[in-house]
Amino acid sequence: MQGESDSRRRRHALLIEDNPVEARFLQRMLTSRGDGNDSSPPYQVQGAESLADGLRLLQETVFDVVLLDLNLPDSRGLETLGRLQEAGHHVPVVVLTAQSDEGQALLAVQQGAQDFLDKGTVNSKLLLRVMGYAMERHKLLEDVRSLAEAAAARDRQSRSVITAMQSGFERLAAGDLAVRVGKETMDGVATEDLSQLLISFDGTMSQLQAAAEMREQFHSMAAHDTRAPLGSLRLAIETLAKEGLPVDKQDLMFGIMRRQVRKLIGLMDSMLDYFVITSGGTSLTLESLDLNEILIDCSRDLARQAGERNQTLEAEPLPGGAQVTCDRMKVVRVLDNLVGNAIKYSRDGDSIRMAVCRDGEDAFRIEIQDNGPGLPAEEVGRVFDRFHRVPGPDRRIQGTGLGLAICEDYVKAHGGRIWVESIEGEGCKFCFILPSLPPA
């Protein structure tokens, strides 16, 4: 196994000792396999007689441990250990000393050596044990150092993120919706949670900026869509004011006026609904009613509009009734919006199906199916977004892009849900579910 082979591999020791007799003695103990009772692995030993030679070997070879005599021909005392450490070699060091230099050896340990040995009393078992402990302690210290460095790096990253976020919020408070902090800060952030915080901030800012841009578009669109019907109304009124206008011309002008007034009412309804749902939530005025009644009223109210394009509204009430407790005006608004869209997008002469169905024991489903152009697959999930309008050259019908968003808000306020099923080129079926009783 890998762990077993690692534990039995020959360790590589550097012995820096200028006395050849003592050097041979120590090297023999390190390379001997012992008397059979000592299971410590043997060492591969390289020797150096001066600090300069030792530093050169450390530069050329990777060692597991260094045995260092403090008193060498080119260095004396604690200076020897200091110069070894300054060279930047992170190797555990065991200091070799004479009995009379024990005080100096203790200072060496305080300065960073892992341990010390008295050359006059050392034996094989003691030498191998001290070197093994030295390597283990050194490894633990390196692990602690790595953890401390990682913690310091994380602290620096956290401070960098906090600074960036603070700057971002200050710019946001000043009205700068284009502020982003991720690109400026991400390179220095390695942790996923901090990176995700920056990404979330930038994502929120993108949404705020998009919402602000959509509001601007809405204001511009509302001004334009209000001006156009008023201009048509003014022209129709001025034409009707002329004396001797033929009856058929008068009927034409009245038809124009009805359509433009309908557009203005629809626009005003959308604007009022939008201000309601963006001002802090939708409140409900509840009453008990039959959804069949609302369905039939809607088909009657919009029959004239559908008739202008020779379209037929086919209402299918649920046999036995569909009694619910709901806000009548909001459900009417949802149904009128969905059927109005079906009329706008269906072809001349088409039929539009309107049906009330049971959905389980305690809910009802209303379906509106048209024969219009349908929706591209990528647009099905976006049609309920505020201000969103499906792009395409075949979609030139005017609107605010708020109608379906308002429908979704009103349906959700009742504890229901709304969705669309569509295949491009085959029309749309809009469905919404209302529970018999809204949530408390």
**Any domain includes 222:** no
**Any domain includes 88:** yes
For the beta carbon of residue 425, count every other beta carbon within 10 angstroms: 10
**pLDDT grade for 414, boundaries at 50, 70 and 90:** very high
**Any domain includes 168:** no
pLDDT at 395: 45
Domain count, the chain: 2
**Any domain includes 376:** yes
DSSP 313-338: EEEEPPTT--EEEE-HHHHHHHHHHH
Give the residue from 145, 173, 189 where a domain finishes. 145
Give the residue from 123, 145, 167 where a domain finishes. 145
| 190: pLDDT strictly greater than 60 | no
Asked if 134 contacts 92 with a C-beta cutoff of 8 angstroms, the reply is yes
Compute the mean pLDDT over every residue in the chain, rounded to the nearest whole number.
80
Q: What is the CATH number of the domain that holds 377?
A: 3.30.565.10
Give the residue from 145, 175, 210 where a domain finishes. 145
Q: In this structure, are 286 and 141 located in the same domain?
A: no
**pLDDT grade for 362, boundaries at 50, 70 and 90:** very high
For the beta carbon of residue 402, count every other beta carbon within 10 angstroms: 26
The residue that leads in pLDDT, 217 or 138, is: 138
Find the mean pLDDT for residues 407-427: 91
- Rounded distance, CA 177 to CA 365, Å? 41
**Any domain includes 423:** yes
Per-residue pLDDT tens digits for 310-360: 999 999 999 999 999 999 988 998 998 899 889 988 889 999 999 999 999
Q: What is the CATH number of the domain that holds 100?
A: 3.40.50.2300
Per-residue pLDDT tens digits for 6-52: 445 678 999 999 999 999 989 888 887 655 555 555 788 999 999 99
pLDDT at 236: 77
| 242: pLDDT strictly greater than 60 | yes
Q: Kindly report the backbone phi and psi dihedral angles of residue 325, in degrees, each rounded to the nearest multiple of 5, phi listed first.
A: -110, 120
**pLDDT grade for 425, boundaries at 50, 70 and 90:** confident
Asked if 97 contacts 117 with a C-beta cutoff of 8 angstroms, the reply is yes
**pLDDT grade for 184, boundaries at 50, 70 and 90:** low
pLDDT at 416: 95
**Any domain includes 92:** yes
Which domain covers residue 26, as residue numbers? 2-145
How many degrees, rounded to 5, is the angle at CA 184 between CA 182 and CA 185? 65
Sheet holding 115-118, edge to edge: 43-48, 11-16, 65-69, 93-97, 115-118
pLDDT at 5: 45
Find the mean pLDDT for residues 170-174: 71
Q: Which residues pair with 421 in a beta bridge?
A: 429
Give percent above pLDDT 70 in the chain: 78
pLDDT at 224: 55
**Any domain includes 330:** yes
**Any domain includes 197:** no
